[in-house]
Amino acid sequence: MPKISVMTLDKAQPVAAAEGCSGPARVLAYYDDEKSPLHLHIHEIAPGEVLRIAESDTDRLAYVWRGSVEAGGVALAAGSSLIVEHGRSLEIMDGKEAAQILTFAAAHPPVEPRSGGHVHLLPADRVTRAVPDAGSSGVSGGMHFASDCPTCEIWLHENHFPGMEALPAEDQQRGVHSHSEDEIIFVTAGQIRLGAKLYGPGTALAIAADTLYSFTAGPEGLSFVNFRSGKPGDIQFANGMSISETGYWQERVQRPEYLELA
């Protein structure tokens, strides 16, 4: 896989099923080949259908992109998320309208996995969010899973950027940075600008660890979720500056209160 791979919704390939998942849902694969360290699928579930996440040796995260579903008797609106740890299974049932569910997972379990065996549900109204300070850039965000669970170490956060016009090249350079882990960014709303191109909702970026990159929001704003399979290290900027990513979020949001299934 290239160090940065961009996949749009219209280019995602239909597949029979995602690994570890089953059900009548239509499935689109963004990344699921042996060269991709992180996998991403979209499950399009019609009313009355069920998406089954089976027991596996890999933790799996599901994010409700559009529509609403129910899991373990809990209603999950758009913007909700959940983790099915290794050794557990879960049925996700659609309600009265069609839903689109993203599932993320590492291609392989970690060398030293945590104990697993749990299901964590995070309804959208339980996501802890940071509101931008007056006079700031206007960027807001929310924390779903911060790799601090004793039984799994998945990470997922969301960001929301106001709309903007294209920046001069020198201003874009200030945002060039890298992360120490492989990551997937999925655009949930608005537009992401990569160079001179704008990409809309349903676009995913798979970015290899230690790869320098940058992006800005399009004129309609930008919302996305960011997935890692393990705890992030420092963000390294091309100009030599670095910041702790976990520290950045700990200063701004509290740990969400998850609902646990027995």
Q: What is the pLDDT of residues 7-16, one digit of tens each?
A: 999 999 999 9
Sequence-distant (6+) residues with CB within 8 A of 109 are 57, 58, 59, 86
Per-residue confidence (pLDDT) for residue 47, from 0 to 100: 92
Same domain for 92 and 153, yes or no, is no
Q: What is the mean pLDDT of the chain?
A: 94
Residue pair 223/158 in contact by the 8 Å Cβ criterion: yes
Residue 2 belongs to some domain of the structure: no
What pLDDT does 172 receive? 67
Q: 236, 188, 186, 187: which is closest to 209 by C-alpha? A: 236
- Say yes or no: 200 and 215 in one domain: yes
* pTM listed for this prediction: 0.96
User: Where do we find the tokens 């950045």?
Assistant: 248
Residue 174 pLDDT: 75
Stretches in the chain below the pLDDT threshold 70: 1, 133-136, 169-172
**102-130 pLDDT per residue, tens:** 999 999 999 999 999 999 999 999 999 99
Q: What pLDDT does 128 receive? A: 96
Centroid of chain to Cα 18: 17
- pLDDT score recorded for residue 70: 96
Whose tokens are 């956060």? That residue is 157
The SS3 of residue 66 is: strand
* The token pair that represents 9 in the structure block: 């919704």
* Count of structural domains, the chain: 2
Q: CB of 41 within 8 A of CB of 103? A: yes
The answer to whether position 59 is within a domain reads: yes
Q: How many CB atoms within 10 Å of residue 242?
A: 13
Clarify whether residues 201 and 143 are in a common domain.
yes
CB 171 within 8 A of CB 198: no
- Cα–Cα distance between 172 and 42 in angstroms, integer? 31
Domain containing residue 44: CATH number: 2.60.120.10
